[in-house]
Each structure stands twice: as structure tokens, then as C-alpha cells.
Copies of this chain bind each other. A is one copy, B any other.
């Protein structure tokens, strides 16, 4: 570690000053001369045929410049896979969820656009609707998409080993139903965009997108323009977390089409109400879980039947359902595994990706189930986990799971040991025995998460590292920092590789006209894939500099090193020059040179077999064990979350501050899902459509959090790094729910575990100390 000059240091985040000072510009902050505003006309029905759209009154409204409907897009539709492109920018023939976008208004100002929305007259023929996925699976249920008459959006049947035999041979088989609630990422910056389709046929967009090159491809495809005529300029982004900002929303397309029709720039900003009622949400899933174990608690097999509430369109869900299955054989040895997945269309807003994509649901089921089994067998739940945990492979060796996932490093045992050795866990029993109105408990979990997604079509990415003649550096990447801090980590890696100071790196926001293509900011891939491209670009630039130094000193380039902004002879370190001087020599040497390093990520693409469930889709896998201490007010059911210990194998913390903040953020967001957040739905209508009613954790709800970084130095990772924060996001819900059991003695199998549910359960079990 001490070998590193920059990696692992607590440098300030590269964007901290701009953000703290309020200088960072987000998409909504951009304006252009002559700019118009767009608003979206939304359906009042959950399921209805569109018979006619009459825009004439809206078009005549003073200040309205254009009205956009589905026919403007000529039937263009999109989605994650060619076979599931079932969504249109605006509803084409029918609406499938409440508030689905049916038209767009472009007007001189936001108020006028809003006013004119009510003037678009849409004739609907209402259709019967279905909201519950298990009901939607029944024969005779209303059909939401003609191409899937059984409402089955995604269906997988995987079989690894022989799970029936495993259950037959098990000492004990536990079977239960678990369920997760419908939650949303809750970013504070809503989708916004300023779009200009200039009459030369060139689209420029400032948009809050995690993966600008997705949007770039969508726009080129939809507007039938070449890719080099699409320019997405990346403003600062106020949180992504998957789903909405990784995809294209109706407003995006209304703005671009509106600009094309009017010849003016068009801007839109979604309201938080639009976000909470119409944007992508996490799937809520029902997990029927069956787990067979030996007398010693060794897991013999798992069978999961998962039913996911898909909402109205498919979106990215073929991957969601893959991930919900793929994660089950991690982090414990699992020789037999069967998975039946059903993602079902319903007349709800669309379900899609969110941090901890797919893994949250099934890991929650497995972990709680293991606790229940440990209790049944009289085993210490940590000891049971330790017995099943995958060993850290020896360097050069690897562990392969039953479904083909390859681990080069695995820190789960070390993580569990850190939790085992901590007073929090050691004092579990005494904590449980504490007297008072509040009953205390301690819970644990063990999880894993993939990092460095490389399973999609175009995974490569590149970086350009340009050394200025004064020795400072411009670093161009197509990878987006959507708030996670990746620009800091990427800059650190380039600084370390090149041998310059962190502050000498300037990294620019993505601009698709200038920056190299990149797959996007999802699947915890940026630090790993874009990081590797940056390292390769820095090495390439360094090579050019070393050659210049070798020429200047008349020595072999192999004998020269650059470190801490100093270039020196390895064999005679007193022969040295500053990096600035080296840059000047290199740039002005001979005919004058331009130092441009170019690098690519070299990880292969592993095409996932969605039908069989195989594929080693990520570069590496993180491991987490978490302990949680909390108290439950046995009268009111109120939960006081006191303490989180997160032991996380991140390979190596590139930037400890970011690792901490990401792990903390991931855990707190998941705490929301565990005990606070859930959309209240009535017949497809989201009743809690503001942050007053949809309760995310606030700062006062955040416990003490300790994070411990475990360094396994993964050979796949840049500087050994793996992912952070998705792991802690997945480990939190089971640990919290396990702690609630520890405090109350009751197993909760559905999230969120709210005070109401606790009181109800306590009453049912006769444990409620209150009146009546």
C-alpha cells in the first residue's frame, strides 16, 4: 500500500468545491436563446385504448408552438432486447399505466405548456386492468400486450445440479415466501434536458443521463441520424442509481421532437410527482424459497420461484430477472440450484433497475431463510454462514460457482470474521437482554455483488490522456460520474499510473462529440472498465515521455521511472528532473510533439445465456458482511437503528473517502427499503407521490456506520479494486430484518418492516405490551 503515491489516499473529491459552492451546473440549469418548454400530457386511465387524439385546441392556444403525439415518431419503439422493444416514446395505440405519456406540448414557457396539456382531447376506451402479478398470471386476466397474451414479460427456468435430489438428501428443508416492496431510487435531481435539433440535422442535448451513449444511440435510431450528428453533453448529475437516468423518458423525446418541429431549443424538467408516479421503479418481487441443509447447516440446494411485478413494459428486466437468479450461488457454496422466474406485466408503472439490481430480493430471502434455519438447527447464524462461505481462492486459482461465475478473490470469510470479532456481534446476547421499553437486537448478513459489468453488446471503452507542455494532464473519458465520485477515482488511477500529482489531472464531463464511446455508468463498471482504459491510456502516454527522457539523458527507457511528479533514473536516482520539465522536453523535442495516450479496456464480453442462467458477466465480485444493532419500541413498533458495521471486500479502496461514502449511502438507501419506503398503490394509482408521503431515511434516521475495507487485491481489478456500495446496499435489508427478529423474536418476510406491521405482528403473537 505504501507503494502507492495517490491510490488509497484521502484526497478531496474532484468535484467537491464546485458542488459545495453551488457552481456545479445540472441539466435544468442550462438555457439557450429562444428556448421553449415542454410538458407531458398524461393518461387518466390505467389501461385504455386510444381511439383518437385531437390536438387542434391545444395547437391554437396562444404560446403553444408544437404538439407532439406518437405518430410523430412513426412507430419507433425501444427496449433492452430486440425481442422486447415494447415501449414507445408516447403511447401509440393504448395506455397501460396511469399517467403514461400520450402527448407533449411545446410552448413559450412552462406555465403555457402546462395549461395547454388539458386542451389535448384524447378519446379512450377503458379496458379491464390487473395490478397484482399473481393475478395477471391467471388465465383470463386482462391482456396488457398482444405479443405476450399470458402477460409473461420474462420467463426463465434454470436448473443447476439436481435440486430435488439435494432436498431428498437434506436433513432439513425449509420453505417460505418472501416479498420485497415497490421502491424508487429517490434521486433529488429529476430528469431534465435541454435539446436542440438544429436545422442542419444535428442534435445537441444536455441531459441527466448515467449512460449518455445509450441515449445517443436511441436518438440516432429514433431520428434516423448518424451517430456523429448526435451530441450529448453531460452536465453534473444529481444521482442516478439505475432505472430512469439510465434510460430514455418521454420528456427526452418530446424535447428533441419539439425542437425538430419548431427549430428552437426545448427544455423540460420533470416534477418529483412525475418521477414518483411515472418513472422506473425497482421491481417488487415475491420469492418462494426452498432451502435444504445438512444437520450441520451445510446448504445442499436452493429452489427459487420468483414472481416479479413488471409493470406495463419490459425495459431492462431480462437482465433484472437474470441477476435475481445469478446471485443466489454467492457468497455461499451451493451445489444444486433451481430457478423459475416470472416477470409479469401489470397495469403499474414500469419496473426496472436500481442499485443492487436484482440481488436485493433473492439475497434477502436467502439470508433470512438461513437465519431461520440456523435457529431451527440451534446453530449460531454467523457460524452457519462461515461453514457455507466460499473460500478465498489461492492466488492464480479460481472458484467457479454452479452457474459458471468465476471468483478470483473472495473476502466473505474475512468479512464474516470481522463481524464475528466485533463487540457488536459478540455482545448480541447481552444486547438482546437489555431491559426497557425498547427491545434491542443484533442481526447479520453476508452477501456478494458483481462489479465491472461486461455482459452487454458493446462493453469496450476508451480513454485519452493528453499531457500538456507544462506537465498537467487532460483526461478524456466517456464514463459518467453521476454523483458516485468516479471522476475522482479515475483521476487518481491516471495520476498514479503516470506518476503525477492527483491535482495535475483535469477530467472533463462527457461530451459525445469529443469523448470516446463508453458503455455507461451501471453495473458498477466505471472504476473497473473505464478505470482500466484510463490506466492503459496513462501507460501509453508514459511510454512516450520515457522515450523522450531516454533520448534527453541518452539512456535506456527501461531504466527510467516517473513517480510523485519526478522523473529519475532507477539505477541512479539522483539523476532526476521534474515532470514539468520532462513534459516540456517531450513536447518541444525535435519537431515538437503532442503527447496523447490512448487506452482501452481489454476485458472481454461474456454473453449471458439468459435461458440457461450461465455466464461470468462481471470482472469481479465483492463480498460483504454486515451487522446491525437496533431497538424496537414494543408498544409503537418504532425502530431505532443504532449501529451498522459493514465489512466489505472491495478488492482495494482506491479512494477511501468514496468507499466510505458509497458504502454508507448504499446502506442508508437500503435501510429505506428495509423499514421505511414503499409506494402505496391503489388500482395502479401511486398514492404517496411526494417525498412528504414517500418516506426515505433522513439524516436523523442514519445510524452510526462503521465500514471496514477488506483488501483482496483482485487480479481483474484496476489496482485490485472491485465494486463498492451495491454490496452494502444488498447486505443491509437482511441484516436489519434479522436484527428486528433479534429484538422482537418475530420473523418478517416482507419489506418494508414498518411500525404498523411490527405492532400487528406483536399483537398476533401476544407480545404487544400496549393496552387492549
Residues of A within 8 A of B (CB): 17-18, 21, 23, 29, 31, 33, 198-200, 220, 226-229, 454, 457-462, 464, 466, 468-470, 472-474, 476, 504-506, 508, 511, 513-517, 587-588, 590-594, 596, 598, 600, 602-605
Contact A198 B23 (CB under 8 A): yes
Question: Taking each of A226, A516, A600, which has the highest tally of chain B beta carbons within 10 Å of its own beta carbon?
Answer: A226
Contact B508 A513 (CB under 8 A): yes
A33 to B17, CA, bound (A): 20
* A228 contacts across to B, CB distance below 8 A: 468, 472-474, 504-506
Contact B462 A469 (CB under 8 A): no
Contact A459 B603 (CB under 8 A): no
Write the nearest CB–CB distance from A249 to chain B, whole angstroms: 24
Residue of B21, B199, B457, B600 touching A594 (CB-CB under 8 A): B600
A38 to B421, CA, bound (A): 66
* A505 contacts across to B, CB distance below 8 A: 228
* A23 contacts across to B, CB distance below 8 A: 198-200
A594 to B199, CA, bound (A): 30
Contact A592 B458 (CB under 8 A): yes
Q: Is the interface of A mostly helix, strand, loop or mixed?
A: loop
Write the nearest CB–CB distance from A501 to chain B, whole angstroms: 11
Given contacts A17-B200, A228-B473, A474-B513, 9 further A-B contacts (CB under 8 A): A17-B199, A18-B198, A21-B199, A226-B470, A228-B505, A458-B588, A469-B517, A514-B514, A598-B598
Write the nearest CB–CB distance from A464 to chain B, whole angstroms: 7
Given A460-B591, A469-B458, A470-B227: A596 in contact with B516 (beta carbons within 8 A): yes
Residue of B464, B468, B504 touching A464 (CB-CB under 8 A): B464
Contact A513 B517 (CB under 8 A): no
* A227 contacts across to B, CB distance below 8 A: 468-470, 472
* A596 contacts across to B, CB distance below 8 A: 462, 464, 516, 598
* A460 contacts across to B, CB distance below 8 A: 587, 591-594
The 7 closest A-B pairs by CB, nearest first: A460-B592, A514-B514, A462-B594, A228-B472, A226-B472, A228-B506, A227-B468
Residue of B199, B457, B591, B602 touching A605 (CB-CB under 8 A): B591
Write the nearest CB–CB distance from A478 to chain B, whole angstroms: 9
* A459 contacts across to B, CB distance below 8 A: 591-592
* A508 contacts across to B, CB distance below 8 A: 513-514
A603 to B505, CA, bound (A): 30
Given A226-B470, A226-B504, A227-B469: A457 in contact with B592 (beta carbons within 8 A): yes
A58 to B508, CA, bound (A): 39
Query: Which residue of B is nearest A454, CB measured?
Result: B591
A460 to B220, CA, bound (A): 35
A220 to B580, CA, bound (A): 14
Contact B598 A593 (CB under 8 A): no
A602 to B590, CA, bound (A): 10
A517 to B460, CA, bound (A): 26
Contact B476 A514 (CB under 8 A): yes
* A590 contacts across to B, CB distance below 8 A: 604-605
A593 to B604, CA, bound (A): 10
Write the nearest CB–CB distance from A495 to chain B, whole angstroms: 12
* A17 contacts across to B, CB distance below 8 A: 199-200
Write the nearest CB–CB distance from A267 to chain B, whole angstroms: 14
Write the nearest CB–CB distance from A619 to chain B, whole angstroms: 12
Given A594-B600, A603-B591: A470 in contact with B220 (beta carbons within 8 A): yes
Write the nearest CB–CB distance from A456 to chain B, whole angstroms: 9
Query: Which residue of B is nearest A537, CB measured?
Result: B596
Sample (13) of A-B pairs whose CB atoms are under 8 Å apart: A17-B199, A23-B199, A23-B200, A220-B470, A457-B592, A458-B469, A464-B464, A466-B516, A474-B513, A474-B514, A516-B594, A517-B594, A596-B598
Query: Which residue of B is nearest A517, CB measured?
Result: B594
A132 to B31, CA, bound (A): 52
Write the nearest CB–CB distance from A406 to chain B, whole angstroms: 16
Query: Which residue of B is nearest A23, CB measured?
Result: B198
Query: Which residue of B is nearest A514, CB measured?
Result: B514
* A229 contacts across to B, CB distance below 8 A: 472, 506
* A21 contacts across to B, CB distance below 8 A: 199-200
Write the nearest CB–CB distance from A294 to chain B, whole angstroms: 41
* A603 contacts across to B, CB distance below 8 A: 591
Write the nearest CB–CB distance from A77 to chain B, whole angstroms: 19
A513 to B464, CA, bound (A): 12
* A470 contacts across to B, CB distance below 8 A: 220, 226-227
* A31 contacts across to B, CB distance below 8 A: 33
Contact A517 B468 (CB under 8 A): yes
* A476 contacts across to B, CB distance below 8 A: 514
Query: Which residue of B is nearest A584, CB measured?
Result: B458
Query: Which residue of B is nearest A16, CB measured?
Result: B200
* A220 contacts across to B, CB distance below 8 A: 470
Write the nearest CB–CB distance from A395 to chain B, whole angstroms: 24
A578 to B588, CA, bound (A): 42
Residue of B457, B515, B605 touching A514 (CB-CB under 8 A): B515
Write the nearest CB–CB distance from A30 to chain B, whole angstroms: 10
Write the nearest CB–CB distance from A566 to chain B, whole angstroms: 17
A471 to B204, CA, bound (A): 20
A504 to B504, CA, bound (A): 36
* A29 contacts across to B, CB distance below 8 A: 33
* A515 contacts across to B, CB distance below 8 A: 514
Given A592-B605, A600-B593: A587 in contact with B472 (beta carbons within 8 A): no
Write the nearest CB–CB distance from A25 to chain B, whole angstroms: 9
Write the nearest CB–CB distance from A402 to chain B, whole angstroms: 25
Query: Which residue of B is nearest A587, CB measured?
Result: B458
Question: Taking each of A227, A458, A594, A605, which has the highest tally of chain B beta carbons within 10 Å of its own beta carbon?
Answer: A594
Query: Which residue of B is nearest A540, CB measured?
Result: B598
A464 to B460, CA, bound (A): 18
A3 to B464, CA, bound (A): 35
Write the nearest CB–CB distance from A476 to chain B, whole angstroms: 6
* A458 contacts across to B, CB distance below 8 A: 469, 587-588, 592
Query: Which residue of B is nearest A459, CB measured?
Result: B592
Write the nearest CB–CB distance from A261 to chain B, whole angstroms: 16
A80 to B622, CA, bound (A): 57
A418 to B229, CA, bound (A): 44
Write the nearest CB–CB distance from A601 to chain B, whole angstroms: 8
Write the nearest CB–CB distance from A175 to chain B, whole angstroms: 42
Write the nearest CB–CB distance from A500 to chain B, whole angstroms: 11
* A516 contacts across to B, CB distance below 8 A: 466, 594, 596
